[in-house]
Amino acid sequence: MAARDARTVLMVEDEARLVDAVRLYLELDGYRVLSAATGEQGLAVAREQLPDVILLDVMLPGIDGFETLRRLRQFAAAPVIMLTAKGDESDVVKGLRLGADDYVRKPFGQAELASRIAAVLRRSAAATGEDDDTRIVVDDYLTLDFVRHEVFAGGEKVQLRPTEYRLLYHLATNPGRVQTYEQLLAKVWGPEYRDEDNYVRLYVTYLRKKIERDPAHPRYILTERGLGYRFVDYRRK
């Protein structure tokens, strides 16, 4: 039985036996588990119960997981882990672009899933908890205010998702220094993600589209081929 103040997990999945197995494991691990068999039901439960994390199957009856995710992101900021039986990398990229925080391929081990849930919850808490007092004026186009959690590009406030913010923070507070894929994965996603280089590449692409004048020719987040990325050294002016 989950504790009264346990974190709440919503599992949107139509495979009843899988739901039961995950529920049993996670409740023994201290979580409160809710479930929904369709995307429409999942949206309703998410609105009413405000879960801390959502497990969302891609293949659902009615609206699929991608459309469910798109609608979720209109009102919910909770971390979402996509569950997919497909090995197609395009499904993974599509889910991340729509606002998913992670994905797990079926069949998965219960311990792996629990580890992923714990990791996204840690990141979610940390994304709004940076206690750094840094305000960086990179140049007349880009300003990063880590006191107020605000980013301005070209005089306009840029809306960043929590993972984008964390990635930008670790890049920008190490100006001129190469941050390897492994370092960024450990700092932003957690040590469990050390082999997921594609996460870093994808989110760097997102950031460039939001903060660069010309994302195809970046001035701020620079690629160090085979190693990782380096934020421009704004201290040398």
Domains of the chain: 8-127 (3.40.50.2300), 135-231 (1.10.10.10)
Q: How do residues 117-127 score in pLDDT, each as one tens digit? A: 998 888 776 65
3-class SS of residue 88: coil
Interval 152-176 mean pLDDT = 90
Average pLDDT over residues 157-161: 90
CA distance 154 to 52: 35
For residue 236, pLDDT over 80 is answered with: no
- pLDDT of res. 190: 79
pLDDT over 80 (residue 82): yes
Show the beta-strand stretches assigned E in 14-162: 32-36, 53-57, 80-84, 102-105, 135-137, 142-145, 150-153, 156-158
Q: What is the pTM of this model?
A: 0.65
Q: Which of the pair, 190 or 100, is modelled with greater confidence?
A: 100
Res 235: pLDDT? 77
Q: Does the pLDDT value for residue 154 go beyond 80?
A: yes
Whether the per-residue pLDDT at 203 is higher than 90: the answer is: yes
Contact call for residues 163 and 101 (beta carbons, < 8 A): yes
Q: Provide the 10 A C-beta neighbour count for residue 217.
A: 8
Nearest to 56 by CA among 39, 77, 78: 39
pLDDT recorded at residue 196: 84
